[in-house]
Chains A and B, each alone.
Chain A
Amino acid sequence: MKVTWVLPGGEEVVADVTEGINLMEAAVAHNIGGIQGECGGSLSCATCHVHVEGDWLGKTGEKGDFEDVMLDMADGKVTDASRLSCQITASRDLDGIRLIVPA
């Protein structure tokens, strides 16, 4: 599946991502600036914050309780479109998803 990250400067990075891994791991594998994923996806660091663009948000599922609290500690503006990308698993349904890395 394909994922596009829109970086704070407007540059876009498109990558093929293996289904089953999470989108933080995918970002780290492609050295996406602004996504560190320091806790390896265990909801302890809030360093993989993204805004999910447009209608893709609805396809990423519901935020968990812990994710909501952790988002409060994230860099960048937290909006209704905010997710921790470690909590989104790459799947066929999300093929083409666009993620905005907040400034």
Chain B
Amino acid sequence: MTVWTPNDDGFADLSSHDTFVKGAPHNTFARLRRDDPVSWTDWDGGKGFWNIVRHADISELNRNYQVMSSARGIRMEDQTYEEYLARRTFQETDPPEHMKTRMKVGKAFSRPVVAEFEQQIRDLCHPILDAALDKGAFDATKEIARQLPMMMLGRIIGTPDEDLPWLVEKGDALIANTDPDFTDHVLDKMDTDEYRMMPFNSPAGAELFDYAKRLIAEKNRKGDTDGVLHMILQPDKDGNVMPEQEFRNFFCLLVAAGNDTTRYSIAAGIQAMCHQPELLDQMQEGGDIWATAPDEIIRWATPALYFRRTATCDHELHGKTIREGDKVLYWWISANRDEEVFDDPNRVDLNRSPNRHMSFGQGGPHVCLGMHLARLEVRVLFEELAKRVKLVEPAGDHKFLRSNFVGGIKELPVSMQAK
């Protein structure tokens, strides 16, 4: 289903994954931003939740982690305390605990460290793009967008290329756990109780963890100290080592979240090139545009549609009372189209600056750990694509993920003409 102009009726059910198979319901978000900035959604799968949709409101709450906690889960699904303990990553902690993990893993993803990957990313782009362009017409999500983040994941964790398709398949099963194309254990459609202590309620979590354990053992045996995993498993200055369960969940997070988000940013960028032909011309002119284009593509994509917080006390906002214990969803996808912040928000403007998008959860302690890598991958991929093509066109209907959590084009038929 090709969706460029939003076509929801303005009253879409935000709790329903099916709503999102037609793309994000932007007319609904626009109405909520205008008329009902703190709205309540009933949900038949559990307790309902509040929707925060304006950029300014999300900005204000996002920094206020004392009132809006991450430590009760970050998706709309309810979690018991024991599930939370078993499944949590540092995404599901608040400062100062959150900062302790961040200190351990942050360096590996810091901008100076990530900048060293640029040539490696470029080298990976060449065969990916050449192979796709040889086909002429192809699914750009599968042939391009999926490939680069997967290959980079392999470089970062130090795993052999032949393992990558399996790893990415498992990562997809975790994060797209509401789309039957990606998992046999569709979260809202079957009894996943058996797996509720596993990361993302999924048996794929257990398989990934076994893999990580074998990988680390093998690396230790060889004395191989390359890669992020080794860096993360080093004791901190007080001699503390990340506990096994936390490492397991972090590894799953790395494989899942670090992979499909960049994929869907790249896919959304290619989708935009199909619909706004001037983007290719601008990219080919080059120069300053590469300082701003990646963030605009990532704003446009907003692969993480929302993150949830839980109120730690009663909180008043726009005349509504959010009660202690209520779930509160920050809809980044809505903030990123907020007319108050972005001129012509429904168009891609590669020169947009400043670009205060929230795709990475900017403005709060949980800002995306991998954001520098994501931007770099997006920039280099589109630089290399623009060097090679003279025409990018849609070649059929594209399809969105069935998920209200991850926004992504899972099939993107395009035709491209090489220069």
Given A39-B367, A42-B65, A47 and B111 touching (CB < 8 A)? yes
Q: Which of A31, A40, A75 contacts B63 (CB 8 A)?
A: A40
Q: How far apart are the CA atoms of A23 and B63 in the complex, in Å?
A: 16
Is B352 part of the binding interface, using a Cβ–Cβ cutoff of 8 Å? no
Given A38-B371, A40-B63, A42-B63, A73 and B363 touching (CB < 8 A)? no
Q: How distant is A21 from chain B, measured CB to nearest CB, in Å?
A: 12
* Pairwise interchain contact B110-A73, C-beta atoms closer than 8 A: yes
Chain A residues within an 8 Å CB radius of B367: 38-40, 44-45
Chain B residues within an 8 Å CB radius of A47: 111
* Pairwise interchain contact B363-A75, C-beta atoms closer than 8 A: no
* Pairwise interchain contact B362-A66, C-beta atoms closer than 8 A: no
Closest to A31 in B: B354
Chain B residues within an 8 Å CB radius of A44: 98-99, 102, 106, 365-367
Q: How far apart are the CA atoms of A61 and B65 in the complex, in Å?
A: 25
Q: How distant is B294 from chain A, measured CB to nearest CB, in Å?
A: 13
Given A38-B371, A39-B362, A39-B365, A75 and B99 touching (CB < 8 A)? no
Is B334 part of the binding interface, using a Cβ–Cβ cutoff of 8 Å? no
Q: Which of B59, B96, B112, B363 contacts A39 (CB 8 A)?
A: B363
Q: Range of interface residues on chain B?
A: 20 to 34
Is B103 part of the binding interface, using a Cβ–Cβ cutoff of 8 Å? yes
Q: How far apart are the CA atoms of A21 and B306 in the complex, in Å?
A: 28
Chain B residues within an 8 Å CB radius of A42: 63, 65, 95, 99, 364-365
Is B388 part of the binding interface, using a Cβ–Cβ cutoff of 8 Å? no
Is B399 part of the binding interface, using a Cβ–Cβ cutoff of 8 Å? no
Q: How far apart are the CA atoms of A46 and B113 in the complex, in Å?
A: 13
Closest to B368 in A: A38
* Pairwise interchain contact A75-B111, C-beta atoms closer than 8 A: yes
Closest to A78 in B: B112
Contact code string A29-53 (vs B, CB < 8 Å = 1, else 0): 0010000001111111111000000
24 contacts between A and B (CB under 8 A): A31-B354, A38-B360, A38-B362, A38-B367, A39-B364, A40-B59, A40-B362, A40-B364, A42-B63, A42-B95, A42-B99, A42-B364, A43-B95, A44-B99, A66-B96, A66-B99, A66-B103, A69-B103, A70-B106, A72-B107, A72-B110, A73-B111, A73-B112, A74-B112
Interface residues of B (CB under 8 A from A): 59, 62-63, 65, 95-96, 98-99, 102-103, 106-107, 110-113, 354, 360, 362-367, 371
4 further A-B pairs in the complex, CB-CB below 8 A; given A44-B366, A75-B112 = A38-B367, A40-B365, A40-B367, A44-B365
